Amino acid sequence: MEPDRVIVCGAGPTGLTLAHELARRGIAVRVVEKLPEFRVASRGKAGIQPRTLEVFHDLGVIDEILAAGTQRLPFRRYRRDQMIGETIPYLDNTPTSDRPFRRLHFMPQSRAEEILRDRLAELGVTVELGTELVGFHQDAHAVTARLATPAGTEEVTAAYLVGCDGGRSFVRKSLGVAFEGYTEGHRQMMVGDVEVDGLEPDAWYQWLDLDHGVVMLCPLSGTRSWQIQATPVPGPDGTPLPPSVEAFQTAVDTVTGMPIRVRAASWLSTTRVNVRRADRLRVGRVLLAGDAAHVHPVLGALGANTGVQDAYNLGWKLAVALRGGNQALLDSYQEERLPVAEWTLKTSVASSDRVFQEMLHGTGGAEVGLTQETLQLDLHYRDSSLSRSLAEDCGVRAGDRAPDAPCLDMAGRVVRLFDVFRGPHFTLLGFGESCAPALRAVAAAGVAGVRTCLLGEHPAAYQLTGDTLVLVRPDGYVGLTARGHDGDAVLDYLGAVLTGALPAAVA
């Protein structure tokens, strides 16, 4: 057995992010994907939220992601052939020094996956296509997985298995983990990637008509394709027809009354309203992330984003456990991410309800499902056992997202905090000259994977009234705040998180 090997089942954004987090820490990882070819479908095209853009900044792919999409996509609403409104979501959300990404970024999910795969390949990991997990069992020491590969059946032993294999997760079902919630089978939409004649690819066109039906046509950046969503078309017996070019054309003709032609479908599917989450994210050495752990309505654009952030939370903790560190650290993954999953379900349902109400009154469209809350910048882990606030005069609390800021170091050079955070390490920030002895003490202790940075000012985003130590976790959340002289508090915290008993949360 390779004692530090992890098997990641599923090569969507969640699985790819997790594999990246492990690979850049030197953990042996296999990513298995049962599909024989990479997806080219747009799937979750609704957008990448700002908090996920921050993750991609840390992963080193932000430039490629931003170049492959747009943050200025007008939502253009019609009633039949008359335009009745247009808005650009988050147009007024100007980037700030502490929040450099404040707008939704639109791009095909398939392109985001391609960028993540390329980055992962640079780290020496290749996705294994046509490789299906068909069984597994575990004991106190390892997981043994059975894989069906193009070359035959293979048995693999690993330290951990992570199911990132979607809403119908084989891993979750095999564990017997309950997937609590509900499905509204009667609320269906046809969805597909098609080519379109008769519209300029400069907006997301939306017909939200309760009498005639719903049609939405969104151009996909960097391609000739559009994603189409439409109310199912009834067949001769009244039952909905499966999605097809002909069905989409009928929906477009019925709802829009415009000379729009649909052709050349490359992906067809039907979506239903599912609102469910797993009751557990960990069973021994097997864990769940992304859609395998939670599914919900697409309005609000939270799906793949929440999965990427699951993986970002889990990756560094798995690495600590695999390097002989604190095994109990893995319990904090469920502790921190289950409440976020619950929030995601409630928020996406509320977004769907808002859009439906706007449809009823004819006053708005899909943009009303996008709020400042859905940007995910205010999600926190304040109640986590990993969060310890000892500096009462620090506005940023343990468990909060660590803000970005341009700061002067003690030599007067400008440093950007997000650049200091970038990488697989903890970051100990010392705000103020009196923090220097504490930073030296932490550095001298030789704790692996900790970077120190002494800064000569107190940035507004941190709301400090005195010299303060702020310890930032590898996933960009504050783990500890302490007074500027208290290096012992930092060492106690790192010792507990990395090797010993976890600290109790301090309000």
Residue 319's pLDDT is what? Answer: 96
C-alpha to C-alpha distance for 232 and 213, rounded to whole angstroms = 9
E strand or H helix that includes residue 87: strand 82-87
Residue 297's pLDDT is what? Answer: 80
Residue 100's pLDDT is what? Answer: 97
Q: Are residues 246 and 318 in the same domain?
A: no
Can you give the three-state secondary structure of 20-83, one letter per residue? HHHHCCCCCEEEEECCCCCCCCCCCCCCECHHHHHHHHHHCCHHHHHHCCECCCCEEEEECCEE
pTM, two decimals, is: 0.94
- For residue 505, pLDDT over 60 is answered with no
- For residue 3, pLDDT over 60 is answered with no
- Cα angle 369, 313, 472 (rounded to 5 degrees) comes to 105
Range of the domain at 319: 6-69+104-180+275-375
Residue 507's pLDDT is what? Answer: 37
Q: Are residues 364 and 399 in the same domain?
A: no
Query: Which of 122-126, 346-350, 354-358 holds the top average pLDDT?
Result: 122-126
Residue 207's SS3 state is strand
Average pLDDT over residues 395-406: 96
Torsions phi, psi of 506, nearest 5? -115, 125
Query: What's the token pair of residue 444?
Result: 């001298």
CA 274 to chain centre: 18
Residue 221's pLDDT is what? Answer: 86
The residue among 351, 375, 399 that closes a domain is 375
- For residue 506, pLDDT over 50 is answered with no
Average pLDDT over residues 6-16: 97
C-alpha to C-alpha distance for 382 and 401, rounded to whole angstroms = 10
- For residue 206, pLDDT over 50 is answered with yes
Average pLDDT over residues 398-403: 97
CATH code at position 235: 3.30.70.2450
CATH code at position 458: 3.40.30.10
The pLDDT tens digits of the residues spanning 440-450 come to: 999 999 998 99
Residue 351's pLDDT is what? Answer: 85
E strand or H helix that includes residue 287: strand 286-288
Q: Are residues 284 and 261 in the same domain?
A: no
Average pLDDT over residues 196-209: 94
C-alpha to C-alpha distance for 316 and 473, rounded to whole angstroms = 9
Residue 60 lies in a domain: yes
Query: What's the token pair of residue 275?
Result: 């609102």
Query: What's the token pair of residue 27?
Result: 């953990």
Q: Are residues 50 and 149 in the same domain?
A: yes
Q: How confident is the model at residue 1 (pLDDT cuts 50, 70, 90)?
A: very low
The pLDDT tens digits of the residues spanning 102-122 come to: 999 999 889 999 999 999 999
Q: Are residues 281 and 400 in the same domain?
A: no
Residue 505 lies in a domain: no
Average pLDDT over residues 200-226: 90
Q: Are residues 33 and 136 in the same domain?
A: yes
Residue 470 lies in a domain: yes
C-alpha to C-alpha distance for 214 and 234, rounded to whole angstroms = 14
Residue 369's pLDDT is what? Answer: 81
Residue 405 lies in a domain: yes
The residue among 205, 240, 273 that closes a domain is 273
- For residue 453, pLDDT over 50 is answered with yes
CATH code at position 119: 3.50.50.60
Q: Are residues 357 and 221 in the same domain?
A: no
Query: Which of 38-47, 323-332, 350-359 holds the top average pLDDT?
Result: 323-332
Residue 504's pLDDT is what? Answer: 54
Which residues 6+ apart lie within 8 Å of 121 measured at CB? none
Q: How confident is the model at residue 241 (pLDDT cuts 50, 70, 90)?
A: confident
Q: How confident is the model at residue 362 (pLDDT cuts 50, 70, 90)?
A: low
Q: Are residues 64 and 188 in the same domain?
A: no
Query: What's the token pair of residue 354?
Result: 């808002």
Residue 44's pLDDT is what? Answer: 64
Q: Are residues 164 and 260 in the same domain?
A: no
Pairing of strands 286-288, 294-295: unpaired
> DSSP secondary-structure letter at 372?
S
Count the domains in the chain: 3
Pairing of strands 152-158, 143-149: antiparallel
Q: How confident is the model at residue 393 (pLDDT cuts 50, 70, 90)?
A: confident
Task: List the single range of 252-256, 350-354, 382-386, 398-402 with lowest mean pLDDT.
Answer: 350-354
Which of 468 and 350 is assigned the larger pLDDT? Answer: 468
Residue 395 lies in a domain: yes
Q: How confident is the model at residue 326 (pLDDT cuts 50, 70, 90)?
A: confident
Residue 87 lies in a domain: no
**For the chain, what is the mean pLDDT?**
92
Whose tokens are 């032609």? That residue is 261
Which of 210 and 237 is assigned the larger pLDDT? Answer: 237
Q: How confident is the model at residue 325 (pLDDT cuts 50, 70, 90)?
A: confident
The fraction of the chain above a pLDDT of 70, given in percent, is 96
Q: Are 232 and 80 in contact (CB under 8 A)?
A: no
Torsions phi, psi of 420, nearest 5? -65, -40
Residue 171's pLDDT is what? Answer: 98
Q: Are residues 400 and 485 in the same domain?
A: yes
Residue 507 lies in a domain: no
Residue 158's pLDDT is what? Answer: 97
Q: Are residues 287 and 364 in the same domain?
A: yes
The residue among 239, 273, 307 that closes a domain is 273
Residue 20's pLDDT is what? Answer: 98
Residue 363 lies in a domain: yes
Q: Are residues 169 and 288 in the same domain?
A: yes
